[in-house]
Amino acid sequence: MTALINDRLLRALRREPVDVTPVWLMRQAGRYLPEYRATRSRAGDFMSLCQSPQLALEVTMQPLERFALDAAILFSDILTVPDAMGLGLYFEEGEGPRFRQPVTTPAAIEALPIPDAERDLGYVMDAVRLIRRELAGRVPLIGFSGSPWTLATYMVEGQSSRDFRTIKRMLLDQPEALELLLDKLTLAVTDYLNGQIAAGVQAVQIFDTWGGTLTTGWYERFSLRPMARIVAGLNPAPDGSRVPVILFTKQGGLWLERIAATGCDALGLDWTVDIGEARARVGDRVALQGNLDPVVLYASPAAIRHEVGDILARYGAGNGHVFNLGHGIHPQIEPDHVAALVDAVHELSLPYHRVQG
Candidates 28-36, 82-90, 130-138, 195-203 — which segment interacts with ligand CP3 by CB under 6 A? Answer: 28-36
We find the least distance from the C-beta atom of residue 75 to ligand CP3, in angstroms, to be 5
64 sits near ligand CP3 (criterion: CB under 6 A): no
Q: Which of 203, 202, 199, 220 is nearest to 211 (CA)?
A: 220
Alpha-carbon span 92 to 1, nearest angstrom: 40
98 sits near ligand CP3 (criterion: CB under 6 A): no
We find the least distance from the C-beta atom of residue 35 to ligand CP3, in angstroms, to be 12
29 sits near ligand CP3 (criterion: CB under 6 A): yes
The two beta strands, 89-92 and 96-99, are antiparallel
Q: Which of 57, 123, 137 is nearest to 84 (CA)?
A: 123
Give the one residue of 26, 130, 152, 171 binding ligand CP3; rule: CB under 6 A.
26
Residue 77 bears catalytic tag: yes
Alpha-carbon span 110 to 56, nearest angstrom: 33
Taking residues 197 to 216 in sequence order and writing x for each that binds ligand CP3 by CB under 6 A, - otherwise, the string is: ----------x-x-------
Q: Phi and psi dihedrals of 291, rounded to 5?
A: -150, 55
We find the least distance from the C-beta atom of residue 248 to ligand CP3, in angstroms, to be 8
Please enumerate in sequence order all residues whose Cβ is within 8 A of that of 50, keeping only pairs 6 or more positions apart, or say none. 56, 75, 76, 77, 80, 123, 124
Residue 154 bears catalytic tag: yes
Residues 73-92 that bind ligand CP3 (CB under 6 A): 73, 75, 77-79
We find the least distance from the C-beta atom of residue 197 to ligand CP3, in angstroms, to be 16
Alpha-carbon span 292 to 138, nearest angstrom: 25
352 sits near ligand CP3 (criterion: CB under 6 A): no
The two beta strands, 245-249 and 203-208, are parallel
Residues 130-189 that bind ligand CP3 (CB under 6 A): 144, 160
Residue 40 bears catalytic tag: yes
Contact by Cβ (8 Å): 259, 218: no
Residues at the site binding ligand CP3, with contacts judged by CB under 6 A: 26-31, 40, 46, 73, 75, 77-79, 96-97, 144, 160, 207, 209, 328
Annotated catalytic sites, by residue? Answer: 27, 31, 40, 77, 154
